[in-house]
Structures are given as structure tokens and as C-alpha cells.
Amino acid sequence: MVAAISAARLGKRVLICEQSRSLGIKLLASGGERCNLSNTLSMDDFMERIRPHGRFMGPALDRLGGDKLREFFHDIGQPTVVLDGFRVWPENRKSKSVLAALIAELDRAGVDAALGCRIEDVRATDGGFAIEHSGGVFQTKQLILATGGLALPKSGASGQGYSFAEALGHRCTPRFPAGVPLVTTETWPAHCTAHTIGKAFLQVAIPKHKRISATGDLIFTKLGIRGPVVLDLSREISPLLQKYGQVPIEMNLCRGKNQEDWQQLFKTWRREPAARVVDRISEQLPLELAESLCEVAGIPASTMIHKLPGQDRESLIRVLTRTPLTITGTTGYDGAFVTRGGVQLKDVRPETMESKQQPGLYFCGEVLDIDGPCGGFNLQWAFASGWLAGSGE
């Protein structure tokens, strides 16, 4: 939609081919239907968070990043607001109002939309492209692939854009669900689903991949773990699952308390009247989690603090500071917010989003091999890259 607006403002005749019966279904679902449009990071800091391809974003963010994106939405009747100093939201925090503003601007710009139009084939022709669909063939001199990826198939995502890109001479990297809950071997998380654990630290426990870590809110599920910190970490874990089959991680669920902190707490507790181990730990963590971590450490939760042997105390402290979990899978694209992988960036010009293989062919958004963490990164990229692609000459 933003690519179409950008192109139409340059006086081009634009047609959106949309296989669904309405535009922007995935946009409606974004940010829990509140639509986290962007964030307040500087352009350099924004790109630093998009590893390993953040620098590719530079020209697009320069055209419609940060404040410029907020100005764009203000101009089309959708003011924005920052409530936490970081995330940019629509003023009323409703994704449907963002979609309504974009559709209204498409109408003002004279953009046509063919809804319920499923594309069957795309091929290059002399001087342009032929787009075959159930009702015939569209001919165009310029084509933008803004098809998204595989995430949230209920929104219409099918991954067709990858096959179209390959048919037009492009290569695609392997694709994985990202921004997705993770499934664990361990079953104890199912007993801890009532609480959100703030500032949890998660780290991959494979020696050569220990740099992969994240901090944020964590939520236990019947199948494993989710929450912002998990969605961010899943971008890195999904490819590792394919390589290793399962991925061990370690967690600190105690707001950063380290081994020395816990040793001091136990030393203090031993001077107090007798109490159960679980009673004291539940002063720091939810009761259900305290009980589960005692079980992981092999220590009965009812053990009295003053009767806890030193070896058992150290075992429990190791579990408290480095809680082990084994990731065996994800909940798949149905539960993912974005796709990792896609059209190789080295075959696309970052200054224009135009293909190096096919003049007149442009890409934007999730179909490319670029994705970011939670916090407005992926929508900002979709808007900025769409704007740049639509500006192509």
C-alpha cells in the first residue's frame, strides 16, 4: 500500500493485485491489533539492531524512517504517539485506523486494487512483465513484489513471492519462522503459565553460539515459552533447530541476580527462623516457578533452609541463575510474526530496491532476506522499503 501511494504520487498508474478480499489483513493483526508502527531509535541504532543486514536499510530509512514516517501518517490523517519513550503507535492504538488511513490515501491517489486476484505466474517480457491471474494477464513495465513472507498464513501469506522472484532470476535464502513461540522438551513450564517474568535473560547454551542472547519479558506456555524476549531470540534459534535438531538454552529469571547474590540471600536466610526453601525463593519468584526450579534442581521444595546441604544449595543456585531448557521446535508460521530469509540482498540495489537481474523489478518488506526484532522494526522496514520501491524510475 505504501509502495502504491509512493508511485502514484509520482504520477504513475498503479494497480495492487491482492489475493484476499480486502487489503491489509496482516496489518490489522500487527502489534496485538494496536500496530506498533516504528520506534524512536536513531537510524544508526535501528540498523545496528537488524543483524546481519541492517546497513542495507540505510537508503530506505533515509527516505521514510523515524520522524519522516510519523509525518507521513500525520499527513494522511493518522497521528502517532510515543507512550514509553520507544515505541511509535497510532494515536488511538488501533491498527484498523492505520489501515483506514492508508486505504483512504490510496483512493485519493487514484490507485486501483484488484481484490481476490490470485496471481498464477509472473514472467519477464520485452520491455516489462506479464502477470497471469485467474481472469487473464496484466502487462506492466514495472513490477513491485510486496508479497510478504510465510508468517501468519491466515492473513493470506503464502510465500508465493519467493517463487515469483526465483522465476525472474533471483535466489532466495532458506526461510524460517521468526518472532514465534518456542517448544521445549521440559514440561514444567506448563505449571508456570499464570505469570509474566520481567527482565528475563536467555542465552543459547551451545558454545559456538553463546553470543545469541536477549533480555525481556517471558511467559511460560503449555508447550514451552513465549513473550517478547522469546520472539526476539527465535529469529536466531529457528535456523539452529534445523542445524542441530534441538537447542539448549539457559535462563536467568531473577532480574539478573547472580551466584553471589543468591549465596548472600541463603546466608541471610540461614540466620532466620526455620522456613522451607520454596517459601524463601518464592519471595523472589512466583510460587509455581519456585516450586518448579526446586524440582529441576532435584531438591524437595519442602526442605527446610537450615537443613539444606551445601552441595544441594549450590545446585539450586546454579538452576536459579542458569535455568536450563531444551528447545525442540517452534509453533510454526501460524504463530510467527515474520519470516527469516528470503530474496538475497546482494541481488537488490539498496538505493532503489530494484533488482540487479531484471530492470523494472522491485522488492520491499518481508519477501527480502531481512527481518528484525519486536518493537516496530519490521513494520518500519515494510513502510520505508515500500516507499523507496514505489519511487523507482
Query: pLDDT tens across 156-194, in order?
Result: 899 999 999 999 999 999 999 999 999 999 999 999 999
Give the residue from 289, 307, 333 where a domain finishes. Answer: 333
Same domain (yes/no): 102, 226: no
Shared domain for 286 and 189, answered yes or no, is: no
Do both 126 and 59 map to the same domain?
yes
pLDDT digits over 279-319, tens only?
A: 999 999 999 999 999 999 999 999 999 899 999 999 999 99
**264 falls within a domain:** no
**pLDDT value of position 162:** 98
Three cell numbers at 29?
Answer: 493483526
Q: Are residues 148 and 213 in the same domain?
A: no
Range(s) of the domain holding residue 281: 274-322
Q: What is the pLDDT of residue 270?
A: 86
Verify that 231 and 278 share a domain, yes or no: no
Domain end: 264, 288, 322, which one? 322
Which residue among 314, 333, 352 closes a domain? Answer: 333
Spatial distance between the Cα atoms of 100 and 105, rounded to a whole number of angstroms: 9
Least confident of 156-160, 250-254, 355-359, 361-365: 156-160
Q: Write out pLDDT tens, residues 124-148.
A: 999 899 999 988 999 999 999 999 9
- Mean per-residue pLDDT of the chain: 96
Decide if 72 contacts 9 (C-beta within 8 A). no
Give pLDDT, residue 145: 98
pLDDT at 282: 95
At 323 the pLDDT is 98
Q: Is the pLDDT of residue 203 over 90?
A: yes
Question: For a pLDDT cut of 70, what percent of the chain falls above it?
Answer: 100
One domain for residues 115 and 6: yes
Do 150 and 72 have their domain in common? yes
Residues 189 and 167 grouped into a single domain: no
Residue 85 shares a structural domain with residue 202: no
* Joined grid coordinates for residue 360: 523494472
Residue 245 lies in a domain: yes
* DSSP bridge pairs for 185: none
User: Rounded distance, CA 67 to CA 45, Å?
Assistant: 15
CATH number, position 28: 3.50.50.60
Question: What are the phi and psi torsion angles at 309 (to 5°)?
Answer: -60, 150
Please, is 235 exposed, middle or buried when counting C-beta atoms within 10 Å of its C-beta (0-12, 13-18, 19+)? buried
The answer as to whether 267 is a domain residue is no
8 A C-beta contact, residue 130 and residue 123? yes
Residue 18 covered by a domain: yes
Identify whether 122 is part of a domain. Answer: yes
Report the pLDDT value the prediction gives residue 25, as an integer from 0 to 100. 94
pTM score, whole prediction:
0.94
Mean pLDDT of 9-30: 95
208 DSSP 8-state letter: G
DSSP string computed for 88-102: EEETT--HHHHHHHH
Tell me what pLDDT residue 193 has: 96
- Cell numbers for 81: 504517539
Cβ neighbours around 28 below 10 Å, total: 16
For the ranges 88-97, 159-168, 216-225, 264-273, which has the lowest average pLDDT?
Answer: 264-273
- The fraction of the chain above a pLDDT of 90, given in percent, is 94
Q: Do residues 367 and 342 touch, judged by C-beta distance below 8 A? A: yes
The total number of structural domains that make up the chain: 3
Nearest to 289 by CA among 344, 354, 220: 220
- Partners of residue 90 on adjacent β-strands: 80
Is 113 a member of any domain?
A: yes
If asked whether residues 242 and 297 sit together in one domain, one would say: no
Rounded mean pLDDT, 354-373: 97
Contact 264, 201 (CB under 8 A): no
Instruction: Say if residue 137 is in the same domain as residue 92.
Output: yes
Q: Is residue 261 part of a domain?
A: no
Using the CB atoms, write b or e for 74-91: b if 16+ within 10 Å: eebebebeeeeeebbbbe
The answer to whether residues 225 and 289 belong to one domain is no
Cell readout for 369 is: 532476506
In a domain, 265, yes or no: no
